[in-house]
Chains A and B, each alone.
Chain A
């Protein structure tokens, strides 16, 4: 296929991506949008395969192996395992861009070097930048995957000299990128290339390790953005416009999503990335909390719920861990049959991934109309009879609005504390994921239901069925 036709096909693919992303942004068209973007990808792949002078043997093997692994993985994963899978795929995309840039470098290397070709310095710099961003995306995503799947502790991990090492790695990255632009060829050039690779991987590890589980939605969407930028940089390296455009679209839309997440926590990006949130002895800061947490039994809760006219369910990460979404939906239905008005209040950063709770509740068939966002439920909270908090913690912590010494002060919350009665489902008495004491639990109107969220909700359901 001629170069002109190829590029026209790439333009068509880019248009399909643009429509796809656009349509992913609204509920009615989202699924079609995903298909359109997939069609764009298929088009780009097919026309690339039609380039003349291809040696197909390894291409078919590579495509076949990747397709089988990707397909099976996507089909067998449980909905609760979604965040870590997205993180892992994202890491694969990042490291793939590294290998593409590396292969391009190797090509120049074996042909006698980059210096002397047209735009030599630019080519060298984009190759090494693609490598760096890709490596950073990869290692960061792998750490995020480990945290989300519980393979490494979800709480912020602060290593000795954490900050110093991160700064050194950042400086090493900049220095070696510049050095590579200067002398990309020969053994020295290759050495610098590896230095960039190692610095990128190191920075990803040291950048994500200290970030706590509650900040994961921000990190995941930032890494998503970076994988796009890595692809875009790789596109510059191999001078391919579809890589540049598609990568850049993902990079920028991912960045917007990241900023939306940050706004939902009333923090800026730098603060999320560099503060090691919740790693300080948080309970030592902030006001002393008075009172005690009062436990209740499910039968006590039943009597209150049975009389309730309006109930708001506030899910959090605990619901995902316990896989309680189906039981929760059943409870919601029973409450509705009982004449109560039921809403599910979703905080933008509840869970470990943007929109995490929505996916889980959708899996359990909770209708759209019952899912309400924070801003629309908060004015109604004082007239709500019962708020049921299921494994959510920081997003309902009133300290965020009234305790200026609290690390989460200023973060918008769902005002569960304004409801007439609060039931909080919680695994045990300890502080939550972030290590913060939640004042909500100590209020006079709050009752704690300890235990596994799924078991507790199921017990409530059976009380209703008696």
Chain B
């Protein structure tokens, strides 16, 4: 049952993902990609669990490596996206 539920969630999320960005102006393609790239760092949640709750030493080490890399992905991804979008925003406030 649990398994079917997870697949159910996956399927719905897939449809949602397709619908969400059907019409994005091309000027936002880069921030959108970079921003969604940061979201894919959600694997950080798995890394935290593996680092903090593993009985096996090896699993803990693997989790730690995952944690560092995923954190770089998340933190770097969000900041870089924000930097890009800040440049876009500046001009909206000061139209010619």
* Interface class of chain B by DSSP: helix
By the criterion CB–CB under 8 Å, are B54 and A44 in contact? Answer: no
By the criterion CB–CB under 8 Å, are B63 and A373 in contact? Answer: no
**In chain A, residues 412-466, which have Cβ atoms closer than 8 Å to a Cβ of chain B?**
none
CB distance from A345 to the nearest CB of B (A): 12
CB distance from B62 to the nearest CB of A (A): 4
Q: A59-B52, A65-B71, A86-B80 are in contact. Are A251 and B14 (CB under 8 A)?
A: yes
Interface residue A367 (Cβ < 8 Å from any Cβ of B):
yes
By the criterion CB–CB under 8 Å, are A355 and B48 in contact? Answer: no
Interface residue A362 (Cβ < 8 Å from any Cβ of B):
yes
- Docked pose: A245 CA to B2 CA in angstroms: 15
Q: A93-B37, A243-B45, A248-B10 are in contact. Are A21 and B91 (CB under 8 A)?
A: no
| Contact digits for B40-82, partner A, Cβ 8 Å, 1 yes 0 no | 1111111111111111101110111111111111111111111
By the criterion CB–CB under 8 Å, are B43 and A242 in contact? Answer: no
Interface residue A392 (Cβ < 8 Å from any Cβ of B):
no
- Docked pose: A31 CA to B55 CA in angstroms: 41
CB distance from A18 to the nearest CB of B (A): 7
By the criterion CB–CB under 8 Å, are A90 and B42 in contact? Answer: no
Q: A244-B13, A358-B27 are in contact. Are A65 and B68 (CB under 8 A)?
A: yes
- Docked pose: A75 CA to B79 CA in angstroms: 7
By the criterion CB–CB under 8 Å, are B68 and A62 in contact? Answer: yes
Question: Nearest CB to that of A75 among chain B residues?
Answer: B79
Which one of A17, A354, A369 has the highest number of Cβ atoms from chain B below 10 Å of its Cβ?
A354
| A277: B residues at CB distance < 8 A | none
- Docked pose: A363 CA to B77 CA in angstroms: 18
| A61: B residues at CB distance < 8 A | 64
Question: Nearest CB to that of B17 among chain A residues?
Answer: A252
- Docked pose: A228 CA to B21 CA in angstroms: 15
Q: Which of A66, A74, A358 contacts B80 (CB 8 A)?
A: A74
- Docked pose: A234 CA to B10 CA in angstroms: 12
- Docked pose: A221 CA to B14 CA in angstroms: 17
Question: Nearest CB to that of A102 among chain B residues?
Answer: B62
Question: Nearest CB to that of A47 among chain B residues?
Answer: B45
Interface residue A1 (Cβ < 8 Å from any Cβ of B):
no
Q: A66-B75, A234-B43 are in contact. Are A103 and B52 (CB under 8 A)?
A: no
Q: Which of B55, B71, B85 contacts A107 (CB 8 A)?
A: B55
* Interface class of chain A by DSSP: helix
Q: A62-B47, A110-B56 are in contact. Are A70 and B71 (CB under 8 A)?
A: yes
Q: How many B residues face the partner with a CB closer than 8 A?
A: 84
By the criterion CB–CB under 8 Å, are A89 and B63 in contact? Answer: no
By the criterion CB–CB under 8 Å, are A244 and B75 in contact? Answer: no
Q: A21-B20, A54-B53, A257-B21 are in contact. Are A71 and B42 (CB under 8 A)?
A: no
Interface residue A24 (Cβ < 8 Å from any Cβ of B):
yes
- Docked pose: A20 CA to B74 CA in angstroms: 14
| A354: B residues at CB distance < 8 A | 26, 29-30, 33
Question: Nearest CB to that of B25 among chain A residues?
Answer: A27
**In chain B, residues 1-41, which have Cβ atoms closer than 8 Å to a Cβ of chain A?**
2-3, 6, 9-10, 13-18, 20-41
Q: A89-B77, A257-B33 are in contact. Are A99 and B62 (CB under 8 A)?
A: yes
| A238: B residues at CB distance < 8 A | 46, 49-50
Q: Which of B35, B44, B54, B90 contacts A45 (CB 8 A)?
A: B44
By the criterion CB–CB under 8 Å, are A82 and B23 in contact? Answer: no
Q: A89-B37, A99-B66 are in contact. Are A249 and B13 (CB under 8 A)?
A: yes
| A40: B residues at CB distance < 8 A | 39
| A56: B residues at CB distance < 8 A | 52
Interface residue A28 (Cβ < 8 Å from any Cβ of B):
yes
By the criterion CB–CB under 8 Å, are A359 and B30 in contact? Answer: yes
| B55: A residues at CB distance < 8 A | 107, 110-111
Which one of A54, A119, A358, A368 has the highest number of Cβ atoms from chain B below 10 Å of its Cβ?
A358
By the criterion CB–CB under 8 Å, are B40 and A355 in contact? Answer: no
CB distance from A335 to the nearest CB of B (A): 15
The 10 closest A-B pairs by CB, nearest first: A66-B71, A252-B17, A70-B76, A355-B29, A70-B75, A354-B29, A99-B66, A62-B67, A74-B79, A96-B70
